[in-house]
Structure 1
Amino acid sequence: MPPGRVRLLCLPYAGGAASLYRGWGALADDRVEVCPVELPGHGRRLAESPVSRLRPLVALLATELEPVLDQPFAFFGHSMGALLAFELCRELRRRGAAEPEHLFVSGASAPDAPRTRPVLHAATDEEVKQELRFLGGTPPELLDNRELMELMLPTLRADFSVLETYHYRPEPPLTVPMTVFGGAADPSVRPQALQGWRAQTSARARLEMLPGDHFFLHASVVEILGAVAGALDAGNPA
C-alpha cells in the first residue's frame, strides 16, 4: 500500500453483506483504500453459520483482520456495523494490538443508550418484516418474496440477536478520534442518541447529520467519503 494511504475497513448493517460497499472504492480519495468486511453467514460467507452474539463475533473478527492491520487503518460501520466497529476498537486495545487512525460510526445510537426498538430475534416472521418496512431500505418486492425471505431470515435473526443481547460494559474512553454520522429523518436513531458517542473517546469527536432515513448512507456515499478523507487528513497532516 502506498505511503500515507489508510485502509478503511467497512462493516455492514444487520442483514447486509460486504457488497453494500461495492463502488465505494471508485469514489474514495486516492489515499483511502476501501476494504469491505464480510461477516460469517453473509454474502460470500453464506455457507457459514452466522454468529448470534457480539463478543464472540468481535473476537473472531479481531483475529481474522489481524493480517490487514499492518498498515494504517480506520473503521467505518453502519447501524450494527457501528457497534461492531466500536467494540473492535476496544478488543484491539485489550489485545495490545494496533489501533485505528479514526472510528467512523453511522446510523447507530451510542452503545450505552437504552434500546427503544422491538426485540426481534425471537419474533414472528411478520414482525421482522414490519420492522424492516419501518426502517426502510429493504425493497418491498424482497419483503414479499417468501423464498428469498426464508433464505435471509436466519441471518437477520442472528444479527438482531447480536444487537439485542448486547450489554454495554463500561471501559475507559477510547483515544481514537471519532466521526458520527446520522440521518436527519432516521426514525430509529434520534440526534440525542448520537450525541452519546462523544463520551466514548477522549480524542476529538464530530457529529455530521445527513439527509435521509436509517439507510441514508446509500444516497450519501460521496458526502460520507468526503468527510472520511477530511477527518483522516486532519489526523495526518502532510
Structure 2
Amino acid sequence: MLFSKPPDPDKLNILCFPYAGGNADYYNRWSTQLDESICLHPVHLPGRGKYIQRPLISSMELLITLLIDELDTFRDCRVGFLGTSMGGWIAFQLAQQLNTSCHPVQPECLIICSAAHPDYRSHLPDLSGLDTQHAVNRLGTFNPACLNVLSNPELAEIYLPILQADLLLCRHWQFQAQPVLNCPLWAYHGTSDLIVQHDMMPAWASLTSASFKLDTVEGIIFLQKGPRTDFSNSCTSVSPHYSKR
C-alpha cells in the first residue's frame, strides 16, 4: 500500500504527494497544525523512504495506474490532493485521469505548492547518459541546494537514482491541458523558492473550470517544520466549503 493509514470517512482526506527526490514523510509534521476536519495521507512512492527496496518508477502513466489501483480504499470518502513541486504534477495528472474516467473517487480540491505550470517541465535538467559526477554537476547548477546531499558519495549513491527517475518521469510526461479539472485549484508560491518563480504559476488557472487562487507564503514551503499560519489557514478553509457526500 502507498498509503500508511486508512481513510477517515468523517473527514476530508488529503492525499499528499512529494517533491522530486523526496518522500512524503515530511507532511506528517503538518498534521497537528491543521483543523481536525482534515486527515493528511502522505503518499509513499516506490523506491524511497519505507519502500526504498521497491523499483523506482520513471513513467507518469505507470505511476498513475498504480495510484488508481490503490484508491479503492477511499471509495465513499471525501478526498483532496496536495502536491509539492513534482508532487503537484502527479496530483494534477491523477485528478485529470479520475475525472476523465468518471472514477468513483473524485478530488474536491487540488492544492499545488511550489509547482510551475506543467509547460515549464522542459526547464528540468536532462541527466540522460551522464555519469555520476556530471549528473551531480548538472543538478548542482539547476539547484545548488542539491549539493548539500549529493556532494556526499554515500548519500549520492542513494538519492541520485531517485532524482534521475523523478526527473525522467517529469520530462517525459505527456501533459495534456484538456480536459480541465472540475474542482477548485489553489496554488502557493514560496517567496524563497529559487527554482519555481512566481510567474510560472498563474497559468494553473487555465487547468480548472472551477475557482482558482494563487497565494504567496514566506520561505520555502516543504523545508519548513510545519506550514506557516497563513498556509495552514488556507488549507483548513477547504474542508467547510464542501458537504460530505
TM over 0.5: yes
TM-score, normalised with respect to structure 2:
0.86
Deviation of 1:121 after TM superposition, in Å, equals 4.7
Kindly indicate whether the alpha-carbon contact (under 8 Å) linking 2:125 and 2:167 is maintained by their aligned counterparts in 1: no
Choose the corresponding residue for 2:113, options 81, 87, 106.
106
Deviation of 1:190 after TM superposition, in Å, equals 1.6
C-alpha separation in 1, matches of 2:134 and 2:97: 33
Does 1:48 find its partner at 2:54?
yes
C-alpha separation in 1, matches of 2:216 and 2:134: 29
Choose the corresponding residue for 1:135, options 139, 143, 155.
143
C-alpha separation in 2, matches of 1:123 and 1:69: 43
Once the two structures are superposed, residues 191-222 of structure 1 have per-residue CA deviations (whole angstroms, 9 ceiling, x without a partner) of 2210010000010001011222xx43332613
Does 1:120 find its partner at 2:97?
no
**Percent identity of paired positions between Structure 1 and Structure 2:** 28
Once the two structures are superposed, residues 75-114 of structure 1 have per-residue CA deviations (whole angstroms, 9 ceiling, x without a partner) of 0000110000000001111221121111001111112346
TM-score, normalised with respect to structure 1:
0.88
Q: Hey, what does 1:68 align to over in structure 2?
A: 74
Q: Hey, what does 1:91 align to over in structure 2?
A: 97
Kindly indicate whether the alpha-carbon contact (under 8 Å) linking 1:183 and 1:209 is maintained by their aligned counterparts in 2: yes
C-alpha separation in 1, matches of 2:193 and 2:134: 20
C-alpha separation in 2, matches of 1:129 and 1:145: 11
Does 1:160 find its partner at 2:178?
no
Instruction: Name the aligned partner's letter for residue 192 of structure 2.
Output: A
Aligned-residue RMSD, C-alpha:
2.2
Deviation of 1:22 after TM superposition, in Å, equals 2.4
Kindly indicate whether the alpha-carbon contact (under 8 Å) linking 2:85 and 2:115 is maintained by their aligned counterparts in 1: yes
Choose the corresponding residue for 1:28, options 31, 34, 37.
34
Kindly indicate whether the alpha-carbon contact (under 8 Å) linking 1:27 and 1:222 is maintained by their aligned counterparts in 2: no
Q: Hey, what does 2:204 align to over in structure 1?
A: 197
Kindly indicate whether the alpha-carbon contact (under 8 Å) linking 1:72 and 1:101 is maintained by their aligned counterparts in 2: yes
Equivalences, count = 233
Deviation of 1:12 after TM superposition, in Å, equals 0.5
Q: Which runs of 4+ in 1 moved over 6 A?
A: none
Q: Hey, what does 1:81 align to over in structure 2?
A: 87
- Which range moved further: 178-187 or 227-236? 227-236
Does 1:222 find its partner at 2:222?
no
C-alpha separation in 2, matches of 1:56 and 1:19: 22
Q: Secondary structure at the match of 1:24?
A: helix
Instruction: Name the aligned partner's letter for residue 227 of structure 1.
Output: S
- Contiguous gaps of at least 5 residues in structure 2: 1-7
